[in-house]
Amino acid sequence: MPDRRHSAARRPPRPSLRRRLLTFLLVPVLGVLLLDAVIGYFVALAYSNRVHDATLSDNALTLSEMIGSDALRGELTEQARFLLEYDPNGRNYYTVTSDRHGRVISNAILQAPSVAVDAPPRLFDTELGHRPLRAATMRVPSRHDPDDVLTITVAENLRDRHARAREILLLTLPMQALLIVAVLFLVWLGVSHGLRVLEPLTSRLARREHDLSPIGEEDVPVEILPLTRTIDDLFARMRNMLGLQERFIADAAHQLRTPLAGIRLHVERLTETTDPAQRADAMNHVQRLAARAARTSAQLLALTRTQSPDLPDRDGMAEIDLATVVPEAVAMRVHQALAAGVDLGYEGTDDPCIIRGDALQVQEVIDNLVDNAFHYAGRGHVVTVSVARGENEVLLAVEDDGPGVDDAFLGQLGERFFRVPGVDEDGTGLGLAIVESIAERHDARVNFLHAKAGGLRVELHFPAAAPLKDHSLH
């Protein structure tokens, strides 16, 4: 026997709306934090570069002021040397060149772009042994030789700039992280509080037992309206199915009560009498009532099936050619027509008569119309099934030359359990009701008319699958 604890441990966790919302919020927020850190670092680096560039320009200006006559001999004053070489994180670099005497003093060879005399220091990027540097250069007249111009270039490495940027980032990142944690906490509180809006709805649904009425929309949030509307549609289908079930049970109880009571009565006759004539008569009654009960049950099932909401609508049906289907259905009933003494015929066209429909339900329509004509026209009469087409519809008709139906009862044909008064033939009154129900499923129109020969004519006007031009019904 499998261990239930292990199977429960392998079961995936139930989906959680709260967890899903928080996950969808957490991942973007963490992404924003990472992006903010990257942007913050570059902003801090830009600020650090600006501060160091200003200092570097000031160093170039200060050096130009501190250079004395010793510079031409390759020496610097102590103040200038301290200014240039003092760097707690590395060293600075400098070069002083004279237009007349060439390079006069330096601790590195720095190539500088050309600048105007007495112009502000010019900042530029350079390298020293593949080491990136930031430099400032300027040209000033020599104090000791009016015809000479000194070019002063100072440079520094970039380590201090990046160190300052990292310090700024490390100062701001904890505050940003704390702010994001606070935002996530507030989001969690908001999601938890927002989900409480579902509590009245869940409480109201929990109090239901067998109530399938619509949920309604008075306390339903807009975001879950599609869900509740889908549930309302499901409730409607269930109410329809339960209504069909209850109607079927009531109809079956009503229609089967009489034949079942008759069968019971004639079975008692069989057990109580030894007269062969009476026993034969009772057996005949039992057989006739059993056939009636079976036919009633079959037609009740057929009627309930045609009213089922699970059947496809017209758009979900297939194309059917009545010019092919109807003659085949009529041919299958020829032997029954011969046994009943009815002249069964077909009139149609060789042109396609395409409709959208359910083949089994169309067969059910033909069978019920032919059965109805057989029962009420009677032996020795003619039953004709015809198919014709028009511009936008296809006509299926069944007519007979029997006694017909009075005008007062034509409007009641198709009602459940209605039978024309004065007709001796056994029937359930469900055949034409089934035809009406199937026709409604196919968006077809049913007409009950007097036939030219005096009997009943039943017409079904089906919408054509495609418009049929230049044709008319005859």
176-232 confidence digits (pLDDT tens): 788 878 877 887 787 777 777 777 777 777 777 777 777 776 767 777 777 778 878
> How confident is the model over 386-413, as a mean pLDDT?
85
Give residue 239's identity as a one-letter amino acid code: R
Please, which pLDDT band fits residue 257 given cuts at 50, 70 and 90? low
Query: Cα–Cα distance between 395 and 375 in angstroms, integer?
Result: 23
Among residues 232, 353, 364, the alpha carbon closest in space to that of 304 is found at 364
**pLDDT range class, residue 245, cuts 50, 70, 90:** low
Q: Which tokens go with 250? A: 């009531």
CATH 2.60.40.10 fits 314-463, yes or no: no
Contacts (Cβ under 8 Å, ≥6 apart) of 422? none
Q: What is the pLDDT of residues 23-46, one digit of tens each?
A: 777 778 778 878 888 888 888 889
**Residue 246 pLDDT > 60:** yes
Looking at the chain, the whole-number percentage of residues with pLDDT higher than 90 is: 6
Question: Higher model confidence: residue 145 or residue 461?
Answer: 461
Mean pLDDT of 265-273: 79
**For residue 395, what are the β-bridge partners?**
388, 461
Find the mean pLDDT for residues 272-294.
77
| Range with lowest mean pLDDT among 270-279, 299-308, 326-335, 430-439 | 299-308
Confidence (pLDDT) at 1: 47
Residue 114: CA count within 13 A, CB half-sphere: 1
Is residue 253 a contact partner of residue 286, using CB atoms and an 8 Å limit?
no
Q: What average pLDDT score do residues 172-179 get?
A: 82
Note the pLDDT tens digit of each residue in 421-465.
655 555 566 778 778 888 888 888 888 888 888 888 999 999 988
pLDDT mean over 346-360: 86
Q: Are 101 and 148 spatial neighbours (Cβ–Cβ below 8 Å)?
A: yes
Burial 239-248 (b: 16+ CB within 10 A, else e): eeeeebeeeb
Average pLDDT over residues 161-189: 83
Residue 310 has pLDDT above 70, yes or no: no
Q: Considering the chain, what is the average pLDDT of its residues?
A: 77
Residue 360 confidence (pLDDT) above 70: yes
Same fold? 21-166, 314-463 = no
CATH code assigned to 21-166: 3.30.450
- Report yes or no: 84 and 154 within 8 Å, Cβ to Cβ: yes
CA atoms of 447 and 445, how far apart (whole Å): 7
Q: What number is the average pLDDT over the span 61-73?
A: 66
Residue 392: its pLDDT value, please? Answer: 86
Mean pLDDT is lowest, of 78-87, 211-220, 402-411, for: 78-87
Pairwise CA distance, residues 93 & 63, whole Å:
12
Residue 473: the pLDDT is 44
- Predicted pLDDT of residue 40: 84
Q: Which of 245, 237, 236 is nearest to 214 (CA)?
A: 236
pLDDT above 80 for 15: no
The angle subtended at Cα 86 by Cα 84 and Cα 89, nearest 5°, is 120
Nearest 10 degrees: CA dihedral of 203, 206, 208, 212? 100
Which contiguous run of DSSP H or E holds residue 149? Answer: strand 149-157
Query: CA dihedral defined by 186, 189, 194, 200, rounded to 10 degrees?
Result: -160
pLDDT of residue 296: 63
Answer with the residue of higher pLDDT: 33 or 156. Answer: 156
Question: Where do the domains of the chain lie?
Answer: 21-166, 222-306, 314-463
H runs (alpha helix) in 273-349 = 276-306, 322-332, 334-340
312 confidence band (pLDDT: 50, 70, 90): low
Note the maximum CA span of the chain. 160
Q: What is the pLDDT of residue 142?
A: 81
Class of domain 222-306 (CATH, top level)? mainly alpha
Question: Hey, which bits of 365-423 come out as E strands?
Answer: 382-389, 393-400
pLDDT score of 471: 42
Mean predicted confidence (pLDDT) in 273-292? 77
Tokens 């020829």 belong to 334
According to DSSP, the β-strands at 318-321 and 354-357 are antiparallel
